[in-house]
Structure 1
Amino acid sequence: MVRILRLVFVLFCGLAAAQQQQALMDYLERRLLAIEDRISLWHEQTSRYASELREFKQQMVAQLEGLDKNKEVLRSELDSVGARVDRVEREMDYLETQNGAQPCVDVDDKLVEQQVTVAKEKNKAKYSKLTDCSDMISTIKAMKILKRVGGSKGTWTKDMGSSSGKVYIFNSTGEDTVYEFSSLREFTSSQGTSAATSIHLPSAWGGLGHVVYNKHLFYVKEGEELKLMKYDLQKSMVVDSAVFPAKDQLPVYTLNPETYIDLAADEEGLWAIYATKENQNHVSLAKVDSKTLAIEQMWDTPCPRENAEAAFVVCGTVYVVYNSKLPSRSRIQCVFDVSDMVTNDDAPTVYFPKRYGTLSSLKYSPTEQLLYAWDDGYQILYKLQMKKKLEV
């Protein structure tokens, strides 16, 4: 009896185990089917996403191509508008030069004749040229913006009377420290004035009219009395000074009123550009002996101070650059040749492709035929194209 019970128990246990095993297999099969369904759904969604991504990519490519085309059209339209604006500016400047303001009062003919006679007597002495230079400016061939160092107003230049490649930076209108770089490459590659040699002058300069010529720095001493200073850059000392022989002086440029005397150098030597009340608010010019600071000769020019911002001298011809109180394009609008070979009718109106504010200084390099310009803290080089003066 006991054996029968044991056999029944064993059979019952085997049957239960078989049922559990079958249930486990069914469960596993259901799980596998669910996983297969999810994998199939994932494949379907992935395919759909890939298709949508391809369509979106095609749409973006088409839109980018359309934007490129629109960009080219806009660029072409902007170039056309810029050319039209430049043409309008030139026409307006031309009309300004041709249609000057009419006088508000009648001028006595005898007084005019007397003024002309005085001017002729004053400039009657013939200027003796030191060189055979007969070049005049035809146009500005190219420009290059080098970097930005310093404030809105300043001067930068090379030694205009020697082959030295040193560059000099005069920041602001009234300081006593000049920064000297050994070369133009060192200046452009340096950070600020960190690589420069500091030259401390015994007195501060006034205005923006300094020039370096034949290893000497010529500047106007700041103060009530306008005194020309000659500083030897090799000996680091002032070697000469002289009071400028002009009375009732005015700022030579109304757009840069800090400058009373603008010193310049060209193929003929050293010059001083200035203004006095005696010349009826016009720019005056003087030839300066660079060795003794003596004034060799003086001229009254017909170039007005109003709206003038800078000037420079090339081959004995002073070129006065004008702008407006609301900065626009600078232009050479008045010239005066000490040898009477160039008149305003002969000289073309030259525009500066300026990008910032007002030119605070222009320094001419005779050996390079370059203009060193300071424009709102930017140091710019203008390459000049020359032509021969015409005999009159």
Structure 2
Amino acid sequence: MPAAQLLLLACLAWATGARTAQLRKANDRGGRCQYTFTVASPSEASCPEEGQAMPAVRDLQRESSAQRADLDAARARLGALESLLHRLLSGQAAGPQDAHGRLQAELDTLRDEREQLDTRARTLEVAYSNLLQDHSVLEEEKRRLGQEKEDLARRLESSSQEVARLRRGQCPCAPEASRDVPPASGEVSPWNLDNLAFQELKSELTEVPASRILKESTSGHPRSGEGSHGCGALTWVGEPVTLRTADTITGKYGVWMRDPKPTPPATRETTWRIDAVGRDIRQVLEYGRASQFEQGYPSKVYVLPRPLESTGAVVYGGSLYFQGAESRTVVRYELSTETVRAERDIPRAGYHGQFPYSWGGYTDIDLAVDETGLWVIYSTEDARGAIVLSRLNPESLELERTWETNIRKRSVANAFVICGTLYTVSSYSSPDATVNFAYDTDTGSSRSLAIPFQNRYRYSSMVDYNPLERRLFAWDNFHMVAYDVRLSQAKQPRARPDAPPAPTAALAHSGEGPGHHLTTQAQ
């Protein structure tokens, strides 16, 4: 039977070679299921006998061995090809990756260079825009100065004609005749000396007759020195003149100042500047000359021993006065020795955003200087946010006297002091703002005003008065600007408690335009 089984297996294997096979099942004699495969022989019409089956089986085995050998050879060749392909792919993969990495690095470098070029281009565009703006401002200022020159020429001609008329004897009263008339007499001069038109007329004649009037004065006092203009009420603020523009974001707001009481080596030209944007503000830039300030070349840089806060710093008598960061402490820093000479807490003063001006900037404590000395502007809980004004001793920082006003500090944009009177600015952003309130420390009363004040760049973060130059200094949205001012009929500045007696009276008048001042003194 083994031969028959082999024959059956051969027939089955042959059937797998795409020959048609038939499967039958039936029970044998013993009752077991028997499967029968029938495969048509390719060469014989009938099945061979048992003796003839062995050659066919051997032929099938040889054919199967040959096919298996061919299959193994094909598998070997396929494995070799797969191995070669794998080596080729792995060998080629390293090269493109390195090339891709180099290309990516070069691409990143080009992108960085492009960003740098874009940044430079934007910087140049901003600088060019600033130059065009400054050029426009200068052209406008040139035009305005030309108009003022023509106006001054016309007024000078008119004044000369008026002087000639007065010299011909048409003046209703002579100085010699009025000189001896006591103030309490019942005679009334045809010339009302308190009349503003008369005062402006006298100021217009400054260049011609002022020296003669001073010489003929019965007081016998010499003419006041430079910077001594007397005092009066603010009546006019001129247009802003741009002196310097900050070139970084830290200069959006800050404070710049000159010493109205300079001490060597500083002069009246020496300028200090502090950029107030940031958390740790310690750097103070000093410019020895006005030209250096306008060109942006500091001659010295100070680093304060503690950071400052607000835009309320001032320089007075050779010292920088500022508010310490996150405190109600006012610090006196002597510039010549670069040391702190005094510190003083302002009693119950709000700080770090408790009672700032309307624009913010932690401007709770604002220092100011006028003809009478050093001041501090602030508020307290007791004052419920109203402005409190105190005069400080510049040496010890002790509070000499304090006034509580009825002006809400948060409702105004800034404040400054002229001749002992506190003035406030209505808005820090409106181009047509006003000086809207005044508080007179002599009378302890306030009054409303409507003096035009121009925020040319729409973000004034600092306004201070310089009594030596008789100008307002301001910082308006990256721009450091100055305003000429005009005062009305003068009053004698209030003397400090430790100051020597002042002259009996002082009278100063300002003309139609800035810079035309006449000062007289009388016993």
Superposition TM-score, scaled by structure 2 size: 0.46
Q: Does 1:220 align with 2:320?
A: no
1:231-266 superposed Cα distances (whole Å, 9 cap, x missing partner): 110011111111111255532312224111100001
Q: Does 1:355 align with 2:456?
A: yes
**Matches of 1:343 and 1:244, distance apart in 2:** 23
1:31 is matched with which residue? none
Equivalent residue in structure 1 for 2:258, among 135, 149, 158? 158
User: Relative to structure 1, is the Cα distance of residues 218 and 248 closer, same or farther in structure 2, using a 3 angstrom cutoff?
Assistant: closer
Contact 2:371/2:467 (8 A) holds in 1: yes
2:295 is matched with which residue? 189
Equivalent residue in structure 2 for 1:272, among 366, 370, 376? 376
2:406 is matched with which residue? 302
Give, in angstroms, the shift of residue 157 of structure 1. 0.7
2:439 is matched with which residue? 336
Equivalent residue in structure 1 for 2:467, among 349, 366, 369? 366
1:65-109 superposed Cα distances (whole Å, 9 cap, x missing partner): xxxxxxxxxxxxxxxxxxxxxxxxxxxxxxxxxxxxxxxxxxxxx
Range with bigger deviation, 207-216 or 357-366: 357-366
1:134-174 superposed Cα distances (whole Å, 9 cap, x missing partner): 31111013431122115221001101222532101110155
**Matches of 1:293 and 1:160, distance apart in 2:** 18
Contact 1:301/1:336 (8 A) holds in 2: yes
**Matches of 2:393 and 2:252, distance apart in 1:** 32
| 3-state SS of paired residue (2:238) | strand
Contact 2:321/2:333 (8 A) holds in 1: yes
| 3-state SS of paired residue (1:204) | strand
Contact 1:246/1:276 (8 A) holds in 2: yes
Give, in angstroms, the shift of residue 354 of structure 1. 2.1
1:315-350 superposed Cα distances (whole Å, 9 cap, x missing partner): 0001011117x64433211110100187415xx411
Contact 1:167/1:180 (8 A) holds in 2: yes
Contact 2:253/2:461 (8 A) holds in 1: yes
Q: Does 1:198 align with 2:301?
A: yes
| 3-state SS of paired residue (1:186) | helix
Identity %: 23
1:314 is matched with which residue? 418
Give, in angstroms, the shift of residue 390 of structure 1. 7.8
Q: Does 1:292 align with 2:392?
A: no
1:379 is matched with which residue? 480
1:74 is matched with which residue? none
- The amino acid across from 1:303 in the alignment is I
1:258-303 superposed Cα distances (whole Å, 9 cap, x missing partner): 1111000010000000011221221110010001100011111121
Equivalent residue in structure 2 for 1:283, among 387, 401, 412? 387
- The amino acid across from 1:382 in the alignment is Y
Q: What are structure 2's unaligned runs of at least 5 residues?
A: 1-227, 493-523
Give, in angstroms, the shift of residue 222 of structure 1. 0.5
Q: How does 1:251-262 map to 2 (within 5 A)?
A: 251-262=355-366
By relative contact order (CA 8 Å, sep 6+), the higher-ranking structure is 1
1:186-234 superposed Cα distances (whole Å, 9 cap, x missing partner): 11123xxx434111100110111100000000001112x3111111100
Q: CA RMSD in A?
A: 2.3
Equivalent residue in structure 2 for 1:263, among 367, 372, 376? 367
1:119 is matched with which residue? none
1:136 is matched with which residue? 233
Contact 2:350/2:364 (8 A) holds in 1: no
**Matches of 2:272 and 2:489, distance apart in 1:** 31
- The amino acid across from 1:242 in the alignment is R
Equivalent residue in structure 2 for 1:180, among 242, 265, 286? 286
Q: How does 1:223-262 map to 2 (within 5 A)?
A: 223=326, 225-247=327-349, 250-262=354-366
1:145 is matched with which residue? 242
**Matches of 2:349 and 2:468, distance apart in 1:** 34
Contact 1:341/1:389 (8 A) holds in 2: no
Larger radius of gyration: 2
Give, in angstroms, the shift of residue 179 of structure 1. 0.4
Q: How does 1:92-131 map to 2 (within 5 A)?
A: none
Range with bigger deviation, 326-335 or 380-389: 326-335
1:116-150 superposed Cα distances (whole Å, 9 cap, x missing partner): xxxxxxxxxxxxxxx99531111013431122115
User: Relative to structure 1, is the Cα distance of residues 379 and 359 closer, same or farther in structure 2, using a 3 angstrom cutoff?
Assistant: same
- The amino acid across from 1:169 in the alignment is R
- The amino acid across from 2:371 in the alignment is E
| 3-state SS of paired residue (2:417) | strand
Q: What are structure 1's unaligned runs of at least 5 residues?
A: 1-130
2:489 is matched with which residue? 388
**Matches of 1:380 and 1:295, distance apart in 2:** 31
Contact 1:303/1:335 (8 A) holds in 2: no
- The amino acid across from 2:319 in the alignment is H
2:313 is matched with which residue? 210
Give, in angstroms, the shift of residue 355 of structure 1. 1.5
